[in-house]
């Protein structure tokens, strides 16, 4: 199975129905590239919440987390490390994500109007 690349303005997302060391299908967030002006404004949390709500399989996985803020978010919210060989790949705790006070995913231009502290869940 191939992945799905989604491009909206300068946002690029790659999703796949699998990842290494995961038995069976899962919704894998492989790549997320956000332009600097959208970073730390809540876009990713809104996107992750949407993924958790529409996921047809048991788990959502965030693959190869290289962003320090996202890594801390995953650890703080009890996301499980997928496998000792993949210490930066997390299985999302979907119950915690669904309980967060996260706004629905909005259009690209909406996030341009926010300051970096607005729309963030602490």
For residue 12, tell me if it sits in a domain.
Answer: yes
pLDDT averaged over the chain? 93
For residue 14, tell me if it sits in a domain.
Answer: yes
Instruction: Give every residue of the chain whose pLDDT is below 50, as ranges.
Output: 121-122
Residue pair 61/82 in contact (Cβ under 8 Å)? The answer is yes
Distance CA 117, CA 15 (A): 27
**H/E segment holding residue 55:** none
The number of folded domains in the chain is 1
For residue 73, tell me if it sits in a domain.
Answer: yes
Q: In the 8-state DSSP scheme, what is residue 38?
A: G
Order of strands, sheet of 4-8, starting from the edge strand that comes earlier in the sequence = 4-8, 11-16, 27-33, 60-62, 86-91, 80-83
Q: In the 8-state DSSP scheme, what is residue 36?
A: G
Distance CA 84, CA 87 (A): 6
- Looking at residue 118, what is its pLDDT? 58
For residue 108, tell me if it sits in a domain.
Answer: yes
For residue 122, tell me if it sits in a domain.
Answer: no
For residue 121, tell me if it sits in a domain.
Answer: no
Domain that holds residue 60: 4-112
For residue 24, tell me if it sits in a domain.
Answer: yes
């Amino acid at each position: 199975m191939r992945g799905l690349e989604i491009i909206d303005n300068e946002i690029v997302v790659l999703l796949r129905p699998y990842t290494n060391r995961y038995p069976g299908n899962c919704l894998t967030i492989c790549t997320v590239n956000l332009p600097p002006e959208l970073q730390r404004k809540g876009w990713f949390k809104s996107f992750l919440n949407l993924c958790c709500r529409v996921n047809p399989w048991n788990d959502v996985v965030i693959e190869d987390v290289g962003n320090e803020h996202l890594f801390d978010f995953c650890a703080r919210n009890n996301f499980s490390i997928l496998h000792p060989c993949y210490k930066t790949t997390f299985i999302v705790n979907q119950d915690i994500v669904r309980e967060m006070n996260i706004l629905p995913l909005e259009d690209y231009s909406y996030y341009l109007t926010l300051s970096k502290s607005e729309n963030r869940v602490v």
